[in-house]
Structure 1
Amino acid sequence: MNFTRLVFPGITMIAVTYGLARYSFGLLLPNISKSFIMSDTLSGIISSLFYLAFCFTIIYSTVITTNKGPRPMIMLAGGFAVSGMLMISASLNEWMLAAGVLLAGGSTGLVSPPFGSAIALWIKAPLQGKANTWINSGTSLGIVATGLGAILLPLHWRYTYLLYALIALIVLWWNYRIIPKADDSLKFQRGILSAKGVEGAKSIIIGAILMGISSACFWTFSRSFIESSGEFNSLVLSLFWVTIGLFGITSGLGGTVIERIGLQSSYTLFAVMMGGASFLLTWASESTPMILGAAALFGTSNLFICGLLIVWGIRVFESNASLGIGLPFIMLSFGQVIGSILAGSMIEWVGYAVTFAVFGAISIVGSFLRTA
């Protein structure tokens, strides 16, 4: 299959599931919290449901993708995204909101393994790493879209999610038209560990959990943190989010960076950068250049690390691409479940600044792990 024919609809589906259905929640959370009068702890618990749903659906998606090919799970992922965002838009209370979050969060788990498999099936081997990282960069495009929407279309959060659901429906139709059916000759062998074996798997599991814990605080509460300073108008708050997405687009170059400096150096560098973003926000949460700098650091490093986990996982589980993507992403989301709940509780206990410093330190500690 032509590279762009698969990658372009893949980018938009990732933009919808990760950017609109999942990560946009952090941008809209302050207004949602005001509508339902939610505490930071409750906000953290509900936010953790995105990642909890991911943990379950990615296991299901990995199994079904291995048996039936990528198409069914990509279609189901789009359906979950549409349904979840419609439910969030119509939510009457915290329970209905939580149910919508579960559906929307589940879409991300459903979509990751099949696109990794689709690339392994239909893209030539020399281009597979670049295809994976470019499709993964769709998250950034979704985040940029949510930020620009907040600037250009300052809708109530309910109407915003309704608009997102309509966009998701269009993207689902496009993928339905493009993604081919897999016949029996295109199915994968079931998950066998590569020659790197258990030791390689152990390292990626620990690294993914630590990166998940650290990143959850920034994704969920960074906008609330800078808004709490009272120094910024809605334009700056939205630009903060747009900056995360714009710099996250550079994660599409992840395959090239890994080829140039190696997997180990890439992982260490960007894990330190991600921790630095939280520290920068801690020390300068009232300075516009500094908060935008923190957004740039986080967007570049976090989205790059997500792409790097794909490359790393496939190298460890080289006989099964969907397993290689599924396992590290399950661990990443498991860490984000822990991180969201802990961050919400810590903010109520010790405040934003100390909480962000602690979670930044977790990423820097995790940077010392060996990738091979």
Structure 2
Amino acid sequence: MTKHFTSNFPAETKTQPPNLLGLTAAGLAIVAATYGLARYCFGLFLPEIRQEFALSTETIGLIAGLSYAGYLIATFAGSWLSTMVGPRLPIFLGGLSATAGMTLIGLSQSPEILAIGVFVAGMSPGLAYPPFSDVIVHHIETRRQNAIYAWINSGTGFGVALAGPLALLASEDWRLAWLIFAGLAGLFTIWNMMILPRNSPKHGKMSGVPISELLNPAARPLFAAALLFGVVTAIYWTYAVDLLLAITDNPAAAVVFWIVLGTAGITGCFAGGLVNRWGLRSSYGLLLILIGGAIATLPVAASIPSGIYYSAASFGAGFIITTALFGMWSMRIFRNTPSIGFGLTFFLISLGQGIGPVAGGYLAPQFGLPAVFVSAGLLCFVLALFRPAGKFHGHN
């Protein structure tokens, strides 16, 4: 029973890169910088940022939404550039965006500069992440693609886990933490430029993506699930620490919560093996139940120390593995244009993640943040209805 995604590119284009371990490690590192640090760590420092700039919940939601708006814009650029000129340039631009954006956040002295920094940093994964689907499909042999992709995708968990100890090291100086993040992003960008394969299949001949391919009926449940997944998970990423502090008034517990969240996300590196063993359809359904439960129960679990960490571990592992499944799902459907289909899928996830914080910022004052979490968790259960088909082009 074959579980790998495949491509219609000629076999000779799938050449093994000189250093497969180095490619995987460098890809994991740039994902850690762009996703784990530049995009998702705003929530970790939200209480300090809110206090320093005296920001309302509505304003916080709008600024957090800018991160996802930046990603939306950059996703198309990253996918298009990868298709036209190869993946190296957009990956470099993504690393540069992460470095510049987090530097702006660290140096910000006004809400306006903070917002610009959040926007620029948010662009980074949109530029750097979709091109890795081209790297994988064109340079990695089919039998190893799921495993390599899962390891690279797990970089988000590594980045989130790394942010926790750095936040403790920086203590209350949240600006120092962001400047350290920026320095790491710069180093990881240089590493990727040294390790990424230079020889890629011919680019530049594609004048556009056939509309019929993007409207493929097999992609409809993928796109619907991606959008809703973004909405519900953004609530957790943005407001979980805020909720914990409101209930427990314990900043140290909130940082440990973030470390557990990221560390659990590292298990995403095993997503390839999970799909190879259980199949995409079954794995997806079970993980959505796990994530929905973690979101819905956090308001109650927050009053119990072990409950906080159970929620963090469940969400962290479930989120990272599920994003890997979305990538595998999209690359099975869009075999001729992997970075375009992959980019569109994650564009919709990010569109939902842009809606989530803004909606949460306006709903929380009306109904309370706990009610927002419960509603988001219940909505996550609905995602189980949009599951992958049982077969993809003759493969189970």
What TM-score does the superposition give when structure 2 sets the normalisation length? 0.90
State the 1:231 CA deviation. Answer: 4.5
Match of 1:369 in 2: 386
Name the CA distance, whole Å, in 1 between partners of 2:92 and 2:214.
Answer: 33
Consecutive aligned runs of 4 or more in structure 1 exceeding 3 Å deviation: 182-197
Match of 2:236 in 1: 218
Closer, same or farther in 2 for the Cα pair 1:259/1:184, shift >3 Å?
closer
Name the CA distance, whole Å, in 2 between partners of 1:200 and 1:82.
Answer: 37
Match of 1:101 in 2: 118
1:244-259 alignment, distance < 5 Å: 244-259=261-276
1:197-247 residue CA offsets vs partner (Å, 9 max, x unmatched): 621111111000111010010000000000001342x32211100111111
Q: Which stretch of structure 1 is more off in the superposition, 354-363 or 183-192?
A: 183-192
1:201-350 alignment, distance < 5 Å: 201-232=219-250, 234-350=251-367
State the 1:263 CA deviation. Answer: 1.1
Closer, same or farther in 2 for the Cα pair 1:281/1:92, shift >3 Å?
same
Look up the equivalent residue of 1:204 and give its one-letter code: L
1:153-168 alignment, distance < 5 Å: 153-168=170-185
1:76-113 residue CA offsets vs partner (Å, 9 max, x unmatched): 01110111011111112111111111100000100111
Asked if 1 retains the 8 angstrom alpha-carbon contact of 2:243 and 2:299, the reply is: no
Asked if 1 retains the 8 angstrom alpha-carbon contact of 2:296 and 2:377, the reply is: yes
Name the CA distance, whole Å, in 1 between partners of 2:362 and 2:299.
Answer: 17
The answer to whether the aligner puts 1:356 opposite 2:373 as a matched pair is yes
Matched residue of 2:335: which SS?
Answer: coil
Asked if 2 retains the 8 angstrom alpha-carbon contact of 1:136 and 1:307, the reply is: yes
Name the CA distance, whole Å, in 2 between partners of 1:67 and 1:161.
Answer: 33
Name the CA distance, whole Å, in 2 between partners of 1:119 and 1:250.
Answer: 20
Matched residue of 1:24: which SS?
Answer: coil
Q: Which stretch of structure 1 is more off in the superposition, 323-332 or 148-157?
A: 148-157
Closer, same or farther in 2 for the Cα pair 1:300/1:183, shift >3 Å?
closer
Matched residue of 1:319: which SS?
Answer: coil
What runs of 5+ residues in structure 1 fail to find an aligned partner?
A: none
Name the CA distance, whole Å, in 1 between partners of 2:219 and 2:66.
Answer: 25
Look up the equivalent residue of 1:309 and give its one-letter code: F
Closer, same or farther in 2 for the Cα pair 1:132/1:97, shift >3 Å?
same
Asked if 2 retains the 8 angstrom alpha-carbon contact of 1:12 and 1:171, the reply is: yes
Look up the equivalent residue of 1:80 and give its one-letter code: S
State the 1:196 CA deviation. Answer: 10
Name the CA distance, whole Å, in 2 between partners of 1:194 and 1:263.
Answer: 24
1:147 pairs with 158, 164, 179, which one?
A: 164
Look up the equivalent residue of 2:141 and give its one-letter code: K
The answer to whether the aligner puts 1:120 opposite 2:137 as a matched pair is yes
Q: Which stretch of structure 1 is more off in the superposition, 148-157 or 84-93?
A: 148-157
Asked if 2 retains the 8 angstrom alpha-carbon contact of 1:191 and 1:319, the reply is: no
Closer, same or farther in 2 for the Cα pair 1:196/1:97, shift >3 Å?
closer
Name the CA distance, whole Å, in 2 between partners of 1:212 and 1:194.
Answer: 25
Closer, same or farther in 2 for the Cα pair 1:247/1:90, shift >3 Å?
same
What runs of 5+ residues in structure 2 fail to find an aligned partner?
A: 1-16, 390-396
Closer, same or farther in 2 for the Cα pair 1:176/1:114, shift >3 Å?
same
Look up the equivalent residue of 2:219 and give its one-letter code: A
Q: Which structure features the higher share of helix residues?
A: 1
Look up the equivalent residue of 2:313 and give its one-letter code: A
State the 1:324 CA deviation. Answer: 2.5
Closer, same or farther in 2 for the Cα pair 1:196/1:62, shift >3 Å?
closer
Closer, same or farther in 2 for the Cα pair 1:306/1:184, shift >3 Å?
closer
Match of 2:392 in 1: none
Match of 1:177 in 2: 194
Name the CA distance, whole Å, in 1 between partners of 2:23 and 2:368.
Answer: 45
Q: Which stretch of structure 1 is more off in the superposition, 117-126 or 205-214?
A: 117-126
Look up the equivalent residue of 2:304 and give its one-letter code: S
The answer to whether the aligner puts 1:129 opposite 2:146 as a matched pair is yes
State the 1:70 CA deviation. Answer: 0.5
Asked if 2 retains the 8 angstrom alpha-carbon contact of 1:193 and 1:317, the reply is: no
Closer, same or farther in 2 for the Cα pair 1:41/1:255, shift >3 Å?
same
State the 1:182 CA deviation. Answer: 3.7
Asked if 1 retains the 8 angstrom alpha-carbon contact of 2:153 and 2:269, the reply is: yes
Give the paired residue count.
371
